[in-house]
Structure 1
């Protein structure tokens, strides 16, 4: 997104009202990207409202002399505010989250047993449902599989994953104060890359189109020559495979 020159006050700080107006399209773009991966029950306006709060918070916290690019900083704050809104509203029911975990566990068991990624039919049989029911389940759990770092915790409220796996990085004097940066420094980035590379090729392509190329469901469907609903199913299954493998690695 092309950005215009920043406007400064006499005190040398970035003019907040200008920044809010300038970055409103960014809030909407991030909301649209996120809602494509969430259940239909999530309202776009709710995400945008949360994102605007994150934008306002970012404009208050950002210090121009810190050297960080404001666009990067504000994008992180906007996404964080939207994720906080999703968590607080409990948009994914406990039943759906449990279903998502059941799929992950079935994939994990089958990979151990078979020594390869299981097919859809094999996963369905492991879950004791027919293929059509399994594919319907994949659509239902779409969005309940966002990779929240606390999902990898031993308990719901203790020993969060981001703390458990950033300890080595914290001991380094060069380590960032940002827990996410500490996590990436600890080797998690490489583990994530390894996990993705072990997925079936179609899953790797789908994730690349979704998260790197930022294509929508219709565009991905055209490339894979499948329907949009089928892309949704394949995305849910790819994320389930990835989560199962990450849990195995970690």
Structure 2
């Protein structure tokens, strides 16, 4: 069932083109003269058609992953692209020309949006795994021990972000966009950590490289290495701690952990 209340109201066209009596003239003024008022009138006139196509696809959906607004948003994008590419002199009706582009824009947009949501969900799950791995026991009540424990967790997460080449590292680079030396320093730090991974134990290195460089979850790492997920979590924590020790033993670096 299509929820008509979820659909945006149809905007009224300018009085000058209210009835769209001279559509050919509108296309001529837009295509040949670039008249924005003519373009706006055509958009408003065909917006109901884009809405109808969005409603059809929304009604045929197999899952409730997205609301009608998302369908309508991508349908509008397709309509605008079709309107800017349409050539009335080819003798093809605009609706015929626009239908494929509007449907294609919806399918492409929804697919990209779905992939992005899946990636965000995966990264959240992986972040939860990392925190649980680094927090070996319930956090202590003593303030000093609590701060030390939180600091250790923070260091482990920071090392992971640098290894991964995203998150903290990307944010840091953005914040020093005008400082080429600092960006280079961060990149060198990342390379140093990856080099030090070669000095981990074989199992630790496999877990760290699979999880951070190949973006594989602990569960899948466990399946590939034929280990328990708990053992993978332990190897992850051990590997990050060993990396920190190795870093402290190497030459000083301006980036402090």
- When normalised by structure 1's length, the TM-score is 0.38
Larger of the two Rg values belongs to structure: 2
- More relative contact order, 1 or 2 (CA 8 Å, 6+ apart): 1
